[in-house]
Amino acid sequence: MVMKIRTLIYNIGIGAVLTTGLTACGSDWLDVSPSDGVPADGALKNSATLESARVGLYKALKGTSDMSDYYGRNMFVYGEVRGEDMQHSIYGSNRADFYYKMEYSTANDFSRANSVWQSPYVVVSRANRIIEANNLSDASSNAATINRIKAEARVLRALAIFDVTRVYGKPYLQDNGASWGAALSTQTLNPAAKVKRSTVAECYTFVENELKAVIASGALSTEKTEGYVNQWFAKGLLSRVYLTKGDYANALTLAKDVIDNSPYQLWTRDQYVHAWYKDDAAHGNEMLFEIAVTGFNDWNDREGYPYLVTEDTDKGPSGYGDMVITKAFSDALLSDANDIRNNIVAAPTSQKVVDANTFLGRKVYLRKFIGSTTQTDPRYSNVPLMRLSEVYLNAAEAAFKLGNTTDAATYLNAIISHRTTSATTVTASSITADRIYMERRKELVGEGHRYFDALRRGETITRYTNATNQGWHQVLNADVQSFNTWTFKKELPLIPSMELNGNDIQQNLLHF
């Protein structure tokens, strides 16, 4: 099916490619212009202008306008509250309510404000301009820098296409990639251009080939580079892609490479809680890639995810308190009193919440986005897109799927031993898929993985089934209390109506 989505991709690519000054109060995404006033056409003439475009590319990862519609907020919220480990709280601003309740239909579809659609294509378009920049005046003298920036752009373009595919397309293993995925745009478009919405399989092929080519080129840095992608993140991302696709052999190979050869190491049990402060000495040990926030000029302010998950306290640095862990997940954490991850959630301090005893005195507010030791305002927090813990868990799951329970136990025990006591470790004969999945949930809670993990495995998500196990969940419609991800009528979100008006984009109608 041919789709006239050129308005979105073309306008973003031409009108916003060099925008480097987006803030929480920025202009509408279709109206922005280059901050340096240079026309986008022909602006990339040397490594200096390429570096300017690089800054704009990384800013687009947060999202456009109020910087909330991608990794600034919505990608994490979508991945968490559609699952069963985090939920929307009655004490908050309702910014997570839409995803949590899933009260939408074909008549009331996914609005642009709530979608993860617009900004991934901003990333794709800006990346395309960087990748296409040829005949630069200092191409010979600054070849390594230019090649590195272009390689980074290819990685982020692959990430954006992968994200759109896994949000809007069925999981690969459900139908072997036959369903509609993302619209592949691999070059800057002219106003008359038309592109197809490619299949999930076609999108995976593109993402895999891009990442393999970039890794093989050797153009990416192999050093720890806060705020920028490097060779190790590219390999970790490819491991994530292979795991999502069900290619367990390649997922394990890439994960082992990162584990064995990268400069990263797992936080120890003693480091774990304090390492979430971005200026802690151990913080960078696990962070393969995180969005770096240096201050109010590049933070997401009150629209950002860190502010969303932080308690709305009576005084001191606080947030909206929109999201909390569920009672069922709290029970899972508390089942092992020695697990240090019990200490990255905090009990309510607001008197109205304490008095209501809604959370039964439990720790419910996530403490992974806590800024620095000198500036504890959550808005100063870096936002992690990949930690080494995920790579270990990828390796454990992939090895288990391949029947290699010895290696699976080794990789899982690395996580367990760094979070709790050796009494809870597993052996090659005792390890189970459920234990791997639960450790993944405990380790990565709040980092945007849960719904995507359940979706790729075709799991049933159960928030509650009756008043006895409802915990502090709100009253939900019956269809979203418990559902199998592959048969659920709202398995996939709807493409924003603003993109459908006047276009021929195929909607995710599914079972409506």
Which pLDDT value is given to residue 105? 66
Question: Shortest CA distance to 510 belongs to which of 491, 482, 495, 497?
Answer: 491
Instruction: Provide mean pLDDT across the span 467-493.
Output: 96
Which pLDDT value is given to residue 478? 96
Residue 17 has pLDDT above 60, yes or no: no
Which pLDDT value is given to residue 297? 80
Which pLDDT value is given to residue 195? 66
CA distances 189 to 2, 40, 55, 124, Å, are: 15, 13, 22, 11
Q: Name the burial class of residue 227, with classes exposed (0-12), middle (13-18) and buried (19+) by CB atoms within 10 angstroms of its CB.
A: middle
Question: Shortest CA distance to 362 belongs to which of 352, 373, 348?
Answer: 348
Residue 19 has pLDDT above 80, yes or no: no
Instruction: Provide mean pLDDT across the span 39-67.
Output: 85
**Local structure of 323: helix, strand or coil:** strand
Which pLDDT value is given to residue 501? 61
Sign of CA dihedral 59, 64, 70, 71: positive
Which pLDDT value is given to residue 107? 56
Residue 334 has pLDDT above 80, yes or no: yes
Q: Quick one: pLDDT band at residue 316, thresholds 50, 70, 90?
A: confident
Residues 6+ apart with CB under 8 A from 130: 44, 50, 53, 54, 57, 149, 150, 153
Count Cα neighbours of 228 within 13 Å in the Cβ-side half-sphere: 18
Residues 6+ apart with CB under 8 A from 363: 325, 330, 342, 345, 346, 347
Residue 60 has pLDDT above 50, yes or no: yes
CA distances 397 to 183, 267, 412, 417, Å, are: 30, 20, 8, 17
CA distances 449 to 45, 47, 290, 464, Å, are: 39, 36, 15, 20
Contact criterion met (CB below 8 Å) for 88 and 323: yes
First to last CA, the chain: 21
Which pLDDT value is given to residue 180? 93
Residues 6+ apart with CB under 8 A from 45: 136, 137
Structure token digits, residue 26: 């920025």
Question: Shortest CA distance to 438 belongs to which of 423, 421, 424?
Answer: 424
Q: Quick one: pLDDT band at residue 18, thresholds 50, 70, 90?
A: very low
Residues 6+ apart with CB under 8 A from 225: none
Q: What is the pLDDT of residues 134-171, one digit of tens each?
A: 999 999 999 999 999 999 999 999 999 999 999 999 99
Q: Quick one: pLDDT band at residue 191, thresholds 50, 70, 90?
A: low
User: 321 in the Ramachandran plot: left (φ > 0), alpha (ψ -120 to 50) or beta?
Assistant: left
Q: Can you give the pTM of this predicted structure?
A: 0.92
Query: Within 10 Å of residue 332's Cβ, how many Cβ atoms?
Result: 18
Mean pLDDT estimate for the chain: 88
**Strands 287-291, 195-199: pairing kind:** unpaired
